[in-house]
């Protein structure tokens, strides 16, 4: 019997469209520690028609822009309203690697009231990434106080 959700695929998988998918695969591999799963499907024009990357236990699919399919990346459409959140072992190291590889800082790495150390960058193709390392377990009663203090500024 065919499984409605294929084995090895999560229910929710971001699918990124980039203008330069092969370079993006290299960026995500070197910065986020991604691994390519299987071979990329190459379109007749030599561009990446489909690729799959794993980051830890997560999956991201990506492809080059293709106007015939209505597939346009963030730079083509004027930006993205979506941010992808990734937990990493060492947020400072990952953030520094991202900037060195051409990403732009959106929000510097900082300790957050909810127990994460996190920062946000935009990759060279216009996708936004929030990277974080969990550094403290905050009890619920203290979380409410910290949230209130953070909102008051």
What's this model's pTM, rounded to 2 decimal places? Answer: 0.92
Q: Which residues contact 20 (CB under 8 A, 6 or more apart)?
A: 64, 124, 125
The answer to whether residue 4 is domain-embedded is no
Token digits of residue 111: 């300790």
DSSP letter (8 states) at residue 13: -
Q: Write out the residue range of the structural domain in which residue 148 sits.
A: 15-152
Arithmetic mean of pLDDT, 53-78: 95
Q: Output the six-digit token pair for 107.
A: 């929000």
The mean pLDDT of the chain is 96
Q: Quote the tokens at residue 13.
A: 């998988």
Q: Is residue 9 part of a domain?
A: no
With a cut of 80, say whether residue 128 has pLDDT above it. yes
What pLDDT is attached to residue 44?
87
Q: Is residue 90 part of a domain?
A: yes
Evaluate whether residue 129 is within a structural domain: yes
User: Quick check: is 8 in a domain?
Assistant: no
Total domains in the chain come to 1
* 61 within domain boundaries: yes
1 within some domain:
no
Distance CA 147, CA 149 (A): 5
| Residue 53 Cα to chain centre, angstroms | 11
Using DSSP's 3-state secondary structure scheme, residue 83 falls into strand
CATH number of the structural domain spanning residue 115: 3.10.180.10
Domain presence at residue 52: yes
Q: What distance in Å separates the CA atoms of residue 117 and residue 95, rounded to the nearest whole number?
A: 11
The confidence band for 123, taking pLDDT boundaries of 50, 70 and 90, is very high
Q: What is the pLDDT of residues 17-36, one digit of tens each?
A: 999 999 999 999 999 999 99
Residue 19: CB atoms within 10 A of its CB come to: 17
63 pLDDT above the threshold of 90: yes
| pLDDT at 62 > cutoff 90 | yes
Tell me which residue has tokens 């469209």. 17
């Amino acid at each position: 019997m065919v499984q409605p959700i294929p084995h090895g695929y999560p229910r929710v998988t971001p699918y990124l469209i980039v203008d330069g998918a092969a370079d993006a695969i290299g960026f995500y591999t070197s910065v986020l520690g991604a691994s390519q799963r299987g071979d990329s499907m190459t379109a007749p024009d030599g561009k990446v028609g489909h690729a799959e990357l794993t980051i830890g236990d997560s999956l991201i699919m990506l492809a080059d822009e293709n106007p015939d399919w209505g597939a346009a990346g963030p730079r083509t459409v004027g930006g993205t309203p979506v941010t992808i959140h990734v937990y990493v072992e060492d947020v400072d190291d990952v953030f520094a690697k991202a900037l060195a590889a051409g990403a732009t800082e959106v929000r510097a790495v900082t300790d957050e009231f909810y127990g994460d150390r996190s920062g946000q960058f935009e990759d060279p193709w216009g996708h936004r990434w929030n990277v974080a390392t969990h550094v403290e377990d905050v009890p619920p009663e203290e979380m409410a106080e910290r949230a209130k203090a953070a909102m008051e500024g």
